[in-house]
Structure 1
Amino acid sequence: MQLRSLGVNTNSFLVFTLFLLLSANAKAAFVKVDGFDLEYEVAGAGKQIVVLEAGGSAGLDDWNSVFSSIAEQTKVIRYSRVGNGNSTAIKRHFTSMDYADHLSEFFLALGISKPVILVAHSYGGSVARDFAAKYSQQLNALLMLDPSSEHDIDILRAINLEQGNKEIAQIKLSDMANGMSNQYLDFWSKRPLPDYPKIKDMPVTVIASVCKVAEPSNLFFTDKGRTMWGEMWQSWAAEFPQGRSVLTVKSSHFIQNDEPTLVLRELKRLIKILDDNKQP
């Protein structure tokens, strides 16, 4: 998402470097989905299957910092959506629901017939929510890392309506200068704003970054914006009987890089819940 910080800390860099050394010989495979070639990688073994959904414009490398560690716990699959990574390049716009449809077909192409745990980052959270609403039978649990939200703009406008609208307009221009912004076209440009899709009762965890920024680039990164962001996801998660929210002040937007142990801990918790309930 364009509103987020892209910084990573020294520990994240070391973890990333170590992963590259350990997986230097690993090669992604490809599978046809809707006529496109999607790259993917499978590792590990276990009762539960974890699928990793990357952020906007990101490929499967979005998960370098945690992929091998997840594979030590259970079977894990990461892939690149069409237009990202080494998957088929495109020049057309895909919505989060289009990507959700592709994800369902991706599972079928790989012969995955049991429900999975979906772990999603940033814009991948929008894809994950659409997938959870439409393909609930293919999903056992959901873990989202600083997911994008159609209500991001509500935060800017609530803090200062006039300034917020100016910043939103500038974000749109910046997005278009760098190519299509799926997030903008998916929901920011629509009125009224679409709302969160209805998702079945299942274990759901959201980890949101509320890390304060010394020099905020816009209202979203002000202390007020950070507080409202955390409260929004706490409220959303609380609507689920099995919902859980975790706010962190130690991570920037890329929580899987800045705090991989936190991500692994919360994922392990979800796996235990499913195993204890004897869910496939």
Structure 2
Amino acid sequence: MRLCLFILLLGCSAFAHAELGLAKVKGLNIEYEIIGQGQPVIFLEAGGSAGLSDWDPVVEGFSKLGTVIRYSRLGNGNSQKLRKNYSSEEYAQEALLLLKELKVDEPVIYVAHSYGAYIARVFAAAYPDKISALMLIEPASEHDVDIMREIDLAQAEKEIAQIKLDDMANGMSNQYLDFWAKRPLPDYPEIPDVPVTVIASVKRYKNPAALFFSDEGREKWGKLHTQWAESFPRGQVVLTNKSYHYPQFDEPEMVIHALQRLIERTPH
């Protein structure tokens, strides 16, 4: 049934509002949607506790560029509900199993937001033959805590402690339980030499609620991702001062254009 749906969608117009499907991964239901047709295959990874709706403003535009697959990780959206502490390694493995279940054998362009970008990086390191390019939007980083501590160590420790409490209350891991809590802190994993685009916001907040959103934090955030993106031979960074943490909602046309340019840099 899933394969039939996939073939049907590939034969449809460049954009069609497909019925949502449920794929079995590790015996559990994962919500997914396939839109568009042809190459490349664009795989979307939502942020934090978000589901596939994280991509609503851009999915139609993306679908004009190739076949788009978006999904909700276990515990999110309409996927099977879970309350457990996940690691990005587990999420990356489940993304791979989902692609296999959907009969997607070719390398994908992996587009990911926030915490999802950390999962995408783990995926790229673990399964280098399954990825042709990366686009990371406001990516969570193991060095976020470094930024906070450089600004004000005592206040940073208070804010990090609160994030830990929020994670544990939620029962689902995100950046604290996945990698901020590890000692020593993990560093960027080795990922293949693929085209990379990073979109990062440097927009300043009038009343920043945390160190990370202070003017100094925004400046350091922009430098962090610029340096990482430019470390790749085919890396590019897009810094925006028009969006906060959700450029795909605040500047959808910019995000669609960035993906189009990434595709143009990706061998087919």
Q: Same fold (TM over 0.5)?
A: yes
Deviation at 1:154, TM superposition (A): 0.5
Equivalent of 2:32, from 40, 43, 53?
A: 40
Equivalent of 1:225, from 217, 238, 242?
A: 217
Deviation at 1:174, TM superposition (A): 3.2
Moved more, 179-188 or 148-157: 179-188
Give the partner amino acid of 2:72.
S
Which whole-Å CA distance do the structure 1 matches of 2:204 and 2:38 have between them? 38
Q: Specify whether residues 111 and 75 from structure 1 end up closer, same or farther in structure 2 by C-alpha distance, changes over 3 A only.
A: same
- Asked whether 1:258 is paired with 2:262, we answer no
Deviation at 1:162, TM superposition (A): 1.4
2:74–2:80 CA contact under 8 A, matched in 1 = yes
- Paired residue for 1:139? 131
Equivalent of 1:153, from 145, 170, 173?
A: 145
Which whole-Å CA distance do the structure 1 matches of 2:100 and 2:170 have between them? 33
Aligned length: 254
- Paired residue for 2:6? none
Which whole-Å CA distance do the structure 2 matches of 1:66 and 1:162 have between them? 40
- Paired residue for 1:70? 62
Deviation at 1:200, TM superposition (A): 0.7
Partner SS state of residue 103, structure 2: coil
Consecutive unaligned residues in structure 1, runs of 5 or more? 1-21
Deviation at 1:238, TM superposition (A): 1.3
2:164–2:177 CA contact under 8 A, matched in 1 = no
Which whole-Å CA distance do the structure 2 matches of 1:179 and 1:238 have between them? 36
The alignment's TM-score, normalised by the length of structure 2, stands at: 0.91
- Asked whether 1:122 is paired with 2:114, we answer yes
Give the partner amino acid of 1:148.
A
Which whole-Å CA distance do the structure 1 matches of 2:116 and 2:149 have between them? 24
Give the partner amino acid of 1:79.
Y
Equivalent of 2:87, from 95, 102, 106?
A: 95
Offset from partner CA, 1:44-79 (integer Å, 9 cap, x none): 112211010000111111110011111122111100
2:86–2:172 CA contact under 8 A, matched in 1 = no
- Paired residue for 1:242? 234
- Paired residue for 1:272? 264
2:83–2:171 CA contact under 8 A, matched in 1 = no
- Paired residue for 2:164? 172
Runs of 4+ displaced beyond 4 Å: none
Deviation at 1:178, TM superposition (A): 3.7
> What RMSD, in angstroms, separates the aligned Cα atoms of the two structures?
1.4
Offset from partner CA, 1:206-264 (integer Å, 9 cap, x none): 00011100001111111000000000001111110001111100001011000111110
Which whole-Å CA distance do the structure 2 matches of 1:73 and 1:179 have between them? 37
Moved more, 265-274 or 246-255: 265-274
Which whole-Å CA distance do the structure 2 matches of 1:176 and 1:96 have between them? 16
- Paired residue for 2:189? 197
Partner SS state of residue 120, structure 2: helix
> Which of 1 and 2 has higher RCO (CA within 8 Å, sep 6+)?
1
Partner SS state of residue 193, structure 2: coil
Offset from partner CA, 1:119-164 (integer Å, 9 cap, x none): 0000100110000001110100000000101111111100111121
Which whole-Å CA distance do the structure 2 matches of 1:272 and 1:121 have between them? 21
Deviation at 1:26, TM superposition (A): 4.3
Equivalent of 1:56, from 23, 48, 58?
A: 48
Deviation at 1:201, TM superposition (A): 0.3
Deviation at 1:172, TM superposition (A): 2.0
Partner SS state of residue 37, structure 2: coil
The alignment's TM-score, normalised by the length of structure 1, stands at: 0.87
